[in-house]
Amino acid sequence: MLFRTVKELVEIAEREGKKISEVMIDQEVMVTKRSREEIIAQMEKNLQVMENAVEKGLKGVTSHSGLTGGDAVLLQKYIEKGNTLSGGLILDAVSKAVATNEVNAAMGLICATPTAGSAGVVPGTLFAVKNKLNPTREQMINFLFTSGAFGYVVANNAFISGAAGGCQAEVGSAAGMAAAAIVEMAGGTPSQCSEAFAITLKNMLGLVCDPVAGLVEVPCVKRNAMGAANAMVAADMALAGVKSRIPCDEVIEAMFRIGKSMPSALRETAQGGLAATPTGRRLQQEIFGSPQK
């Protein structure tokens, strides 16, 4: 194992003059004993699945429950009009994150990053930033390795599932992963990647997992939208030189402690938060006829 913490990851990258993505590939070779080519080819497959999901979602899909679908299309049409307030690039990332999660909710094929419920953030930002930075296919694959490196640290030191640690563990982690990868693609340093991750996750702390009717739809799709927006802004902040006062690994540890103290009703049981609102309950009734329990 080359690294267990973000601090170690950044130190290796800076000492060896490598990008975070390269350190992740090195570690993967070491741990799995597979060849670099094989590992990169597998990641390219994941990239392809992500690209297909974004395209499919932008054409418009609807979930079986009817709760989600079509918002990615609405956003793209709105961007085309050219009068966006928060900027075309951010909204493009938002719409592509939404597209992916709408496909996921419709039981389509996606690549979990790090989970299915949070699968929109990383590809959403990647395929938006792509239009601005014109990366090579290799750089796009590296985007996923950099995301993966940060996700790997979170998964081993905290958690990445809503049932274990709330939405902060899923969309929070995904947004941090995306922010770090955007920074690397934009030419930032490894330590700027870690600042971007820390700034993003700090702003996702405490986010609960409260899916209406237990479906990965409401509010998951829109949480991916905001995760993508959060990642884009945090990446810009880190590239500007803004630093997180609390080091990245300590933010991850804080996320872990917060998740540990979250009641079960707010960890993917559909018993608290938005799921327990009058409308949340009514939707559950309409979809399943009666409460699941």
Partner 1 sequence: MKFRSVFDIIGPIMIGPSSSHTAGAARIGRVARTIFGRQPKWAKIHLYGSFAETYKGHGTDVAIVGGLLDFDTFDNRIIDALIIAKDIGMDIEFIEESEVPEHPNTARIILGDELGQLEIVGLSIGGGKIEIDEINGFKLRLTGEHPAIIVVNNDRFGCIASVANVLAKYEINIGHMEVSRKEKGKLALMVLETDENVDEQVMEEISKLPHILQVARIVE
Q: Per CB under 8 A, which of residues 140..159 are in contact with partner 1?
A: 144-145, 147-149, 151-152, 155-156, 159
CB of 250 to partner 1, least distance (A): 20
Its sign, for the CA torsion 221, 226, 229, 230, is negative
Stretch near partner 1 under the rule CB under 8 A, chosen from 6-14, 42-50, 186-194, 230-238: 42-50
Q: Cα separation of 210 and 273, whole Å?
A: 5
Q: Per CB under 8 A, which of residues 79..118 are in contact with partner 1?
A: 103-117
Q: Cα separation of 78 and 194, whole Å?
A: 33
- Would you state the structure tokens that stand for residue 120, as one six-digit string? 């929109």
Question: Which position among 6, 12, 13, 28 is part of the footprint of partner 1 (CB under 8 A)?
Answer: 28
Nearer Cβ to partner 1 (91/154): 154
Say if residues 97 and 225 touch (Cβ distance below 8 Å).
yes
Q: How far, rounded to the nearest angstrom, does the alpha carbon of residue 139 sit from its chain's CA centroid? A: 18
Using only C-alpha atoms, the chain has a radius of gyration, in whole angstroms, of 18
CB of 151 to partner 1, least distance (A): 4
In 3D space, the residue among 110, 112, 109, 140 whose CA is nearest the CA of residue 127 turns out to be: 140
Does 292 interact with partner 1 (rule: CB under 8 A)?
yes
What residue ranges bind partner 1 (CB under 8 A)? Answer: 1, 4, 24, 27-28, 31-32, 39, 42-43, 45-46, 49, 65, 103-117, 119, 122, 144-145, 147-149, 151-152, 155-156, 159-164, 169, 177, 211, 213-217, 264, 267-271, 287-288, 292-293
